[in-house]
Amino acid sequence: MSDNNALTRWHSACGKVILFGEHAVVYGVPAIAGGIQQAMRARIIQSAPNEIRVSIPKWSVDVCQGEHRPGTELFEAYLAFLLDKFQLASRGFCLELDPTITHASGLGASAAVAVASIRALADYAKRPLSDEDINTLAFGCEKIAHGSPSGLDNTLATYGGIQLYQRNGEQAQCSALQLAKPFRLLVALSGKQGFTAATVERVAKARAAEPQKYDAIFDSIGNITARASNALQHGELAEVAELMTENQLQLRALGVSCDEIEHVISLAMSQGALGAKLTGSGDGGAVIIAPGASEEKVLAALRNAGVQCFTITLGVRP
Ligand code: MEV
C-alpha cells in the first residue's frame, strides 16, 4: 500500500522468546523472557468509506468488520474489542499489520498484533496512551485469544527488554534483568504450529487430575528460573544454556514437547550446541538454542535439514 494512503505512521511491538518458565508462569511461578525487536508494525491506512478492515498481507489475512472467515477469528475478535474501546466503529479505515515473525510459533505474535494495533488505533483516535494503558488493553486482547494467559506475552510486546515476570492473582510483577554479557540465541521453527489456548487448557486439565505431580514440576521450573536469573546477571552463559536443557526436561514431563521440537533440539545438540528448549506454549512452534562457539555449525546443520532459523542477541541496546 502506498504511503499516500497512510493515515498514521507505523507503530511497532516486540515479539518474545521465553527463556525459562513457560506454563509454570500461568500458576504464579516466575518466568524470564526476552523481547524480539521489530517483530510487528501496524498503521492505519485509507479504506472504502464505512468499511473497517484488518489486513496482514504476509499472513494472507484480509477481513472486514462483521465478516466471519475461517482462520481470521482472532483478528475479528481483536478488532471488535478495540473498536469498542476506541469508539471508532463509525469511521472507515484499514488496520494494516506487517509482521516479521510467524503466527502460532510461540514467539508472541498475537500479543504483538494486539500491542502494535493498539498503538496505531490510539494514534488514529488521537488518544495518547501510556505503555501501562497499552499493556492493560493488550492483556484484554490476550484473554480473548488464550482464555487465561499469564500476561507475559503482552508485557514483552509492550516493553521488550529482558524481563523477570511473575503473576500474582490479578497483579503482576515485572523487573528488567541487566545481563552481564550479551546472550546470543538461535531461534529455530519446528515446522509445526503450536496453539497456546489449547496447550494451556490441556496442561490445566492434566494438573486438575494430578495436582501434586504438576505442582512439583512447576516448583522445579521455578527453581531453574531462579538459578538462571542469577547466572544471566553474572554472565555465566554456559550455565544458562545447561539450565535451558534442564527446563526442557520439565516441559517434556508436562507433555508440551513433540517430535518436531525434539528433532530440532537433538540436531542442534549433536552439532555442539550448549543447550536448547522449546519456547512459548510448545506442541510445535519454536525452539531456542544456545549455540556457544558452534553457531555456524549448528546453523548450517539446521538449514541443511530445512529448518527455518534466525539469530537474536539479548542484552544489547537496539
Ligand atoms: C505462551 O507464550 C506462554 C504460556 O506460559 C502461556 C502464558 O504465559 O500465558 C504457555
User: 196 C-alpha vs ligand 1 centroid, how far in Å?
Assistant: 7
In angstroms, the CA 201 to CA 62 distance is: 29
Best mutation site among 146, 168, 196, 287 for ligand 1 pocket (most ligand atoms within 8 Å of CB): 196
Pick the closest to residue 189 from 95, 310, 98, 84 (CA basis): 310
Q: In percent, how much of the chain has pLDDT > 90?
A: 86
pLDDT band at residue 50, thresholds of 50, 70 and 90?
confident
User: 17 C-alpha vs ligand 1 centroid, how far in Å?
Assistant: 11
Take atom 8 of ligand 1 and give the residue whose Cα is closest.
Answer: 150
Assess whether pLDDT exceeds 90 at residue 90: no
In angstroms, the CA 202 to CA 280 distance is: 15
| Number of the ligand 1 atom closest to the C-alpha atom of 106 | 2
Best mutation site among 142, 153, 187 for ligand 1 pocket (most ligand atoms within 8 Å of CB): 153
Kind plus residue range of the DSSP H or E element containing 99: strand 93-99
pLDDT at 1: 55
- Just give the CATH number of 183-314: 3.30.70.890
pLDDT at 38: 92
**Within 13 Å, how many C-alpha atoms sit on residue 18's CB side?**
35
Note the pLDDT tens digit of each residue in 200-228.
999 999 999 999 999 999 999 999 999 99
Higher model confidence: residue 88 or residue 208?
A: 208
User: 150 C-alpha vs ligand 1 centroid, how far in Å?
Assistant: 6
User: What ipTM was reported for this prediction?
Assistant: 0.99
- 91 contact partners, CB below 8 Å, separation of at least 6: 52
pLDDT at 154: 97
Domain 3-176 in CATH 3.30.230.10? The answer is yes
Mean pLDDT, residues 249-273: 98
User: 281 C-alpha vs ligand 1 centroid, how far in Å?
Assistant: 6
pLDDT at 57: 96
pLDDT at 311: 97
Q: Ligand 1 pocket by C-beta < 6 Å: which residues?
A: 18, 22-23, 25-26, 146, 149-150, 152-153, 196, 200, 280-281
Take atom 9 of ligand 1 and give the residue whose Cα is closest.
Answer: 149
Domains of the chain by residue range: 3-176, 183-314
pLDDT at 318: 62
CB 37, CB 17: distance < 8 Å? no
Assess whether pLDDT exceeds 80 at residue 4: no
In angstroms, the CA 106 to CA 237 distance is: 23
pLDDT at 272: 98
Assess whether pLDDT exceeds 90 at residue 189: yes
Q: What's the mean pLDDT when you consider all of the chain?
A: 95
User: 308 C-alpha vs ligand 1 centroid, how far in Å?
Assistant: 22
Q: In percent, how much of the chain has pLDDT > 70?
A: 99
The number of residues making up the chain comes to: 318
pLDDT at 66: 85
Mean pLDDT, residues 247-261: 98
Cell readout for 77 is: 475478535
Assess whether pLDDT exceeds 80 at residue 317: no
Alpha helices per DSSP H over the chain: 73-86, 109-124, 131-146, 152-159, 196-209, 211-233, 237-254, 259-270, 295-304
Cell readout for 284 is: 510445535
Give how far Cα 197 sits from Cα of 18, 148, 203, 204, Å: 16, 8, 10, 11
pLDDT at 68: 86
User: 249 C-alpha vs ligand 1 centroid, how far in Å?
Assistant: 17
User: 110 C-alpha vs ligand 1 centroid, how far in Å?
Assistant: 12
| Number of the ligand 1 atom closest to the C-alpha atom of 21 | 5
| Number of the ligand 1 atom closest to the C-alpha atom of 153 | 2
User: 76 C-alpha vs ligand 1 centroid, how far in Å?
Assistant: 22
Q: Please indicate whether the domains covering 3-176 and 183-314 agree at the CATH topology level.
A: no
